[in-house]
Amino acid sequence: MRAAIYASYSTDLQSDASIDDQHRLCLRLIASHGWSEAETYADRGISGASHLRPAYQRLLQDARDNRLDVVVAEGLDRLSRDQEHIAAFFKQMRFHGIPIVTVAEGEISELHIGLKGTMSSLFLKDLAQKTHRGLEGRVRKGKSAGGVTYGYDVVRDLLADGSITTGERVINAAQGVVVRRIFTDYSHGISPRAIAASLNQDGVAGPRGTWGSSTIYGNDKRGTGILNNELYLGRLVWNRQRFIKDPDTGKRQARMNKPDDWIIEQVPDLRIVSDDLWEAVKARQKATRSLAIRNSIRAVGRMKRATHLFTGMLKCGTCGGGFIQVGKQY
């Protein structure tokens, strides 16, 4: 029988050697049954809650093309931790007459799908809660919960026990000057688009290379964009939003949390802009929105319209950043 091996691990924190370990265990199982290895399918650093994994999808296609007779894995949770996905995988394999055999559970049946699928789902939920709790504890100490904010450098110090500090940040002096420049220019009536063009013309590197107006203006409700990031005011705001995965596309979508659920900590050492400058920017943002929206209806003609067909639609195939016009010839 042609045995296909599937191996995976979910995060970059896990060792790549995990694939080799799983492969070795599966080869031992294949040899004990007298089967032959057809191919090994491996997904590295991709969540087991997603079915949009390249090797996983290739395994499904090869099963449809009759290129294998049995699927072998270390455990059922290596194939998927999502109840719906593992049940669908089991149905697909059963339809094609392909049994699933794992080192941990043996040959998989409907009973394994029900019990192990439930346990895997509970594991994911429990892991998410523990991760959220750990991040909250870090934020309450005034530390970063992840991600690099423009204007700051990540600090990595070696502690006495040999561990490395996490969540520590200091102001990047050069980027801090740029942040104050953006706030000052906007408070003086310069548009985000003009500010972005000016920064690009001066050769100032942005968070993702070049500057765009959305990077500067962002979304005030979600706290995104340079002008809405309260960290520049010395205030760390966390848990403003949560992410829910779309079951059809597997992509995450943001959902706002209630203000009562937000975690806010004062971090005066990370302040870059003054209260007066911050309030001046907020006042202009409010005035701009009031001008653009009248009686909850967008006033036609009051907002600047794109003059080019593909404005805001073109994205870089390498970094995903948006294209902006930096001159009349481009």
Cα–Cα distance, 131 to 135 (Å, whole number): 6
Tokens of 106: 């043996």
- The DSSP letter of residue 99 is -
Q: How many CA atoms lie within 13 A of 328 on its CB side?
A: 0
At 22 the pLDDT is 92
260 CB burial (10 A radius; 0-12, 13-18, 19+): exposed
CA-CA distance, 70 to 148, in Å (whole number)?
Answer: 45
CA distance 8 to 39: 14
Using the 8-state DSSP alphabet, how is residue 306 labeled?
P
| Per-residue tokens: 316 | 């870089």
DSSP letter for 328, please: T
SS (H, E, C) 142-195: CCCCCCCCCCEEEECCECCCCCECCCEEEECHHHHHHHHHHHHHHHCCCCHHHH
Structure token pair of residue 328? 């009349």
Residues 6+ apart with CB under 8 A from 246: 252, 253
Cα distance between residue 112 and residue 95, in whole Å: 17
**pLDDT at residue 166, rounded to an integer:** 63
Alpha-carbon span 21 to 15, nearest angstrom: 10
The answer to whether 225 touches 218, Cβ cutoff 8 Å, is yes
pLDDT for 13 equals 47
Residue with tokens 């600047």: 304
Residue 267: its pLDDT value, please? Answer: 87
Residues of the chain with pLDDT under 50: 13, 295-297, 299-303
Residue whose token pair is 């059963």:
94
Q: Is 263 helix (H, G, I), strand (E, B) or coil?
A: strand
pLDDT tens, 189-245?
999 999 999 999 999 988 888 898 889 988 877 878 899 999 999 888 878 878 777
**How far is residue 225's CA from residue 218's CA, in Å, rounded to a whole number?**
4
Instruction: Provide the pLDDT for residue 110.
Output: 87
The whole-number pLDDT of residue 295 equals 46
For the sheet with 106-107, list strands across it.
36-44, 2-9, 70-73, 100-102, 106-107
Q: What is the pTM of this model?
A: 0.55
Listed as own residue / partner, the contacts of 31-35 with beta carbons closer than 8 Å and 24 or more positions apart are 33/1, 33/3, 33/101, 35/1, 35/2, 35/3, 35/69, 35/70, 35/72
| pLDDT in the model for residue 4 | 95
DSSP structure class, residue 92: H
Cβ contacts of 169 within 8 Å, gap of 6 or more: 143, 144, 149, 152, 153, 154, 155, 270
Residue 301: per-residue pLDDT:
45
Q: Are 149 and 231 in contact (CB under 8 A)?
A: yes
